[in-house]
Structure 1
Amino acid sequence: MQILKKFTNPWFTSENVMSLSAPLIGMCVVFSCLALLGYLCGIELLYRPLGYDEATHPLTAISIFLIALAMWFGRKSPTSFSPYIMALVAALIVGFRLIDFYFSLTLSEIFTPFKAQVAADIQSGKSNAMGVNTAVMLFIMAAAVVFKQANKLVVSQLLAFISLAIPVTSLTGYAYNISAFYGQMSEPTSIFGCALGISILAATANAGGLKAILSTHSGGTIARVQALACYLIPLLLGFLVIKSFNTTAQQAYLVFMWWQFVGLLSS
């Protein structure tokens, strides 16, 4: 109940939510720098904190760093051209990864740093690659930053919402223990992917649908409660269904998508 009261509190205004963007950007910059430092110094814990689980690939860390930095410079100088360059470089990096996947090429390996460490991980039987889901997420986020810098806030907000579906699905997979949901996206990448997406959303909180949701009027309060319930209730019920039966990944995916559809209808 306390969480619900805080969620419906008048603190949730556009201005206050916009103030969250800067610290979230800072968190993403620190995360990406630590991951790259782990490769540089040979400290696996920094880019693979869960041992034999998925790792944060160097290109993933670089892309998150560039997008976060583009957001930061965009906040400091709304008319600056540097955020466009950073976001487009990030989009180019993940774009090459998508081309590699769809055409079975290895173009992204040409500019991948710390190749020896990545190769050593793979040879030892560990996973170390930028997943397609990660690449799609970062590509959409880079596009969202470009539109934000161009002052197309509603488009940026829409893209940020779409991109957030990927790390949220990944985290749901970790919660359900279903690898098909997260693929090669590591838990830290999922968490900071959410943070990066929310930072873009927060920066556009004074426009579009988010402005309406954050309204201090009763309609905004109801919308916030519905938004929270439409994710938490399906997540809980889906978890109970999966734990109750011998559910395959495909069945679990259908359960998850069905409850998300129900949540969408109820909102």
Structure 2
Amino acid sequence: MRYFIFLLLLPLPVIANQGNQTNNSFHKAKKMLEKSVYLADHERKTIYCDADFDEKKQVTFPPGFNTTKYIKRAKKVEWEHVVPAENFGRNFKEWREGDTQCINSKGKSFKGRRCAEKMNQQYRLMQSDMYNLYPAIGAVNAMRSNYNFVMLNDLPASFGSCAMKISSRKVEPPAQSRGMIARSYLYMDQTYALYSMSKQQRQLMHAWNQQFPVTHWECIRGQRINTLQGNINDLLMQSCALAGFR
């Protein structure tokens, strides 16, 4: 009996904290989310505006939603890096400086996301981590860009009835998305050595994690990603257990 108890107290396997080690294709990650995570047995909803979308990624706008920019992109769901790719990508040399093999067809060198994706396996794994990918209305994804999340207080919403606020390269997300955002940021921060939040951002994410508890759907989503990607999101798993979601 003592031996059995000892086994229960052992830490989780190392792979739990290694992040995505199985899929280095962003395209494949998006397809798995579409076909194996966001299924018809649960409502397909975008992270920020709570808009419905179907298996063809066609969006049904919630009443009162509007946008004056990226009109064509608004019609479909895009897969949003909640922690923007640039926020971890700029820590890779290939992103900052390029590489001798990052030459286009005209013989001109390039750097940034294209070069990091071409040359660095670890970058591709981070970019394809499904725990950090959520569906968003294309126009909202475009306007969010790589801006940091903050509280913008009394500013008006940027998309009509959708309470997403974007101003001066800062974003305040709607209340219903803050818990998911926080747990994505904390997961990336705890999992990948090449990503680190600022002290201010970390404090905000810890606060949102406490203020906005995990939902049943968030736990189902995490279980499906765990099965597909092969690594455990420790923070999410613990939050689901505390909330009684199995």
RCO comparison, higher one (Cα < 8 Å, 6+)? 2
In proportion to residue count, which structure has more helix? Answer: 1
Shorter-chain TM-score above 0.5: no
User: Greater strand share, 1 or 2?
Assistant: 2
TM-score in terms of structure 2 length:
0.32
Q: What's the TM-score, normalizing by structure 1?
A: 0.30
